[in-house]
Amino acid sequence: MNYVSFTTPDGAASWGVSLEGRIHDLGPSGAGLAPTLKDIVADGRFGTLSEEQVREAPAFDEADVALLPPIIDPAKILCIGVNYVSHQEETGKTNQKAPTVFTRFADTQMGHLAPALMPASTTQYDYEGEMALVVSKDAYRVKAEDAWDYVAGYGAYNDFSVRDWQLAATQWTPGKNFPGTGAFGPYLVPAADLGDVDQLKLETRVNGEVRQSASVADLYFSIPQIIEYVTAWTKLSAGDVIVTGTPGGVGLFMEPKGFLSAGDVVEVEITGLGTLSNTVALDA
Same domain, 240 and 101: yes
Q: Which structural domain, as residue segments, surrounds residue 13?
A: 2-68
Q: Which own/partner pairs from 62-65 qualify as long-range (CB within 8 Å, at least 24 positions apart)?
A: 62/18, 62/21, 62/22, 62/23, 64/9, 65/6, 65/7, 65/8, 65/9, 65/23
Same domain, 82 and 36: no
Give SS3 for 126.
Answer: strand
Same domain, 246 and 152: yes
Q: What is the distance between the alpha carbons of residues 192 and 231, in angstroms, rounded to a whole number?
A: 22
Same domain, 64 and 120: no
The per-residue pLDDT for 104 is: 98
Q: What is the distance between the alpha carbons of residues 253 and 235, in angstroms, rounded to a whole number?
A: 35
Q: Alpha-carbon torsion 170, 99, 160, 42, what sign? A: negative
Q: Over its length of 284 residues, how does the chain's per-residue pLDDT go in tens digits?
A: 999 999 999 999 999 999 999 999 999 999 999 999 999 999 999 999 999 999 999 999 999 999 999 999 999 999 999 999 889 889 888 888 999 999 999 999 999 999 999 999 999 999 999 999 999 999 999 999 999 999 999 999 999 999 999 999 988 999 999 999 999 999 999 999 999 999 999 999 999 999 999 999 999 999 999 999 999 999 999 999 999 999 999 999 999 999 999 999 999 999 999 999 999 999 97
* Angle, CA of 220, 104 and 93, to the nearest 5°: 30
Same domain, 159 and 20: no
The closest of 143, 132, 136, 141 to 79, measured between CA atoms, is 132
Q: Alpha-carbon torsion 175, 181, 186, 190, what sign? A: positive
The per-residue pLDDT for 94 is: 85
The per-residue pLDDT for 95 is: 85
Same domain, 51 and 134: no
36, 68, 100 — which closes off a domain?
A: 68
Same domain, 38 and 175: no
The total of structural domains in the chain comes to: 2
pTM for the model = 0.97
DSSP state string for 29-50: TTT-S-SSHHHHHHTT-TT---
Same domain, 84 and 55: no
Same domain, 217 and 268: yes
